[in-house]
Structure 1
Amino acid sequence: MSTVRLKNIYWSVALASLVLGVILAVQFRITSDMQHNEAIQRTQELAQQVEQMKKEHEVLQTQLLRMRGQLESLSTESLTPQIKEEMELATIFAGITKLTGSGVEVTLRDNNASPKFTDNPNANLVHDEDILRVVNELKAAGAEAVAINGQRVIAATEISCNGPTIRINKKALAPPFVITAIGSPETLESALKMRGGVVDYLQFFGIQISVKKLEQLTIPAYSGSIKSDYIVEKDIDT
């Protein structure tokens, strides 16, 4: 085979490789851009959903406070027992009043020992998801009110990691985390301590958790802002 022919073959292969490389690079760039755009779109959608939930909660809070004011302006004798009961339940669920009753106190602490199953030093630290597990289990077991380090948990409460602290109701809280809940002490304790339940799960991963039944405890009212920048005041009768 002649030298000229070999050179032609060489340059043909080189050119084909170059073209293929360019095509692959362009394809990779397009795919990466599509994935990036999808991630941005998903993040924006989630942010919009959170904002919408906040607005809806603010509307409900404002309506509740206004109705409460109108009812308080009426004579007590004119209120039926049913209306009184509904008002009391509404204020409990909204978290705008302090509550006292029996329940449980759950304390979560970081474990200073080395993690059992990983080299990650953060594995033995209390995270937001650990607190959420406890709170959700308490609510499922019938807790009427819950607080974390004195912060009342309501529908709009956000629980998220914030560096070495956990952010609750826009406040940075440090361990230990003391979760108080009003309800049947026996029922709440049993729900947490059931075999394979929350206590077993957290202890398996090294988190220190204790549950104590209390005959009386006090849960403060929600102290966050309920001011809205979007609600337009309107008379109920119109």
Structure 2
Amino acid sequence: MLMQMKKQVVTPLFIGIGLLVGIIFSLQFRAKPIGSGSFPLERLEIQKELLTEYSVEQQELKQRIEEADEKLQEARALIERQTSPQTLNELDRLRAAAGFTAVEGSGIRVKLSDNPGVSRRGFSSVNENFVQASDVRDLVNSLFLKDARAVSINGNRVMPLTSIQPVADNLLVGNFFEIAPFVIEAVGDPDALEEAVETIRSRKIRVFADVVDSLKLEPVESRRTLKFLKLHE
């Protein structure tokens, strides 16, 4: 009697387990296999879609900038038509002095480099054989005192109040990092500018100066350009 009761209990249990295992196997066979490379491909497609969206947004921003520039040019032309030539000349002079326009003319090119007896890898802020921020700063100030119309450091236009600070063995000139050697260009009277160079001739660094008949110094921070994403197939 007891054995019959056990059989009655165990038999439905095994039947239920068998049905459950069968259902699991059937679901596995029905499931669509996922290729091993599907996830990387999906990520690649998503990235391409994002790049496309960003590219479209940047093109729209570029168009808006161009439209704003056109309106600015129209407003400028209107102001010029309503302003006397004397006032326009004064405005041009002030814009050039503020660094908003390129300045061309004769001038001087000065190259400051470390003493050949030292290596930049062993830079020290107290070693006078290395070009220091103070050397560049003193030369720039002297050039402006000699009525330089424009000055640049490694192609970066600077103004009388532009900060020149040391950062390890490099310089932070305004918003730009500059590395040695440092090339300083100045537009103005070459004779007067050569006198400015003489103020640092006695230092332990190397100073090379050449008079240049024609120089063109770009506006302040003219190297800051807009870059747009490009989708590569």
Distance 1:82 1:101, change over 3 A: same
One-letter amino acid of the structure 1 residue matched with residue 221 of structure 2: S
Aligned equivalent of 1:221, options 219, 223, 230: 219
- TM-score, scaled relative to structure 1: 0.56
Query: Which is worse superposed, 164-173 or 120-129?
Result: 120-129
Q: Which residue of 1 aligns with 2:209?
A: 211
SS of residue in 2 equivalent to 1:157:
coil
Q: Could you tell me which of 151, 155, 169 is aligned with 1:150?
A: 155
Contact 2:108–2:187 (CA under 8 A) maintained in structure 1: yes
Residue 101 of structure 1: which of 102, 105, 112 is its match?
105
Q: CA 1:89/1:71 → structure 2, altered by over 3 Å: closer, same or farther?
A: farther
Q: 2:94 aligns with which of 84, 90, 93?
A: 90
Matched ranges for 1:1-238 at <5 A: 72-74=76-78, 76-113=80-117, 122-193=127-198, 197-200=199-202, 202=203, 206-223=204-221
1:139 aligned counterpart, secondary structure: helix
Question: Could you tell me how far apart the structure 1 residues matched to 2:80 and 2:218 are?
Answer: 26
Q: CA deviation at 1:107?
A: 0.6
Q: Structure 2 CA distance, aligned partners of 1:179 and 1:132?
A: 11
Q: What stretches of structure 1 of length at least 5 have no aligned partner?
A: 1-67, 115-119, 227-238
The root-mean-square deviation of aligned C-alpha atoms, in Å, is: 2.7
Q: Which amino acid aligns with 2:84?
A: T
CA distance in 1, matches of 2:223, 2:179: 22
What code does the residue aligned with 2:87 have? I
Aligned residues between the structures:
148
SS at match of 1:122: coil
User: Whole-Å Cα distance in 2 between the matches of residues 151 and 142 of structure 1?
Assistant: 19
Deviations 1:44-64 (A, max 9, x none): xxxxxxxxxxxxxxxxxxxxx
Q: Deviation string for 1:121-176 (max 9, x for gaps)? A: 83211111100110011001110100000111125521000001111122211111
Indicate the structure (1 or 2) with the bigger Cα radius of gyration: 2
Contact 2:107 2:215 in 1 (8 A): yes
2: CA distance, partners of 1:129 / 1:190: 18
Offset of residue 181 of structure 1: 0.4
Note the residue ranges of structure 2 that are not aligned, 5 or more in a row: 1-71, 119-123, 225-233
> Equivalents in 1 of 2:162, 2:73: separation in Å?
24
Measured in 1, the distance between the counterparts of 2:206 and 2:75 equals 46
- 2:80–2:88: 8 Å Cα contact kept in structure 1? no
Instruction: State the 4+ residue runs in structure 1 displaced beyond 3 angstroms.
Output: 68-71, 75-78
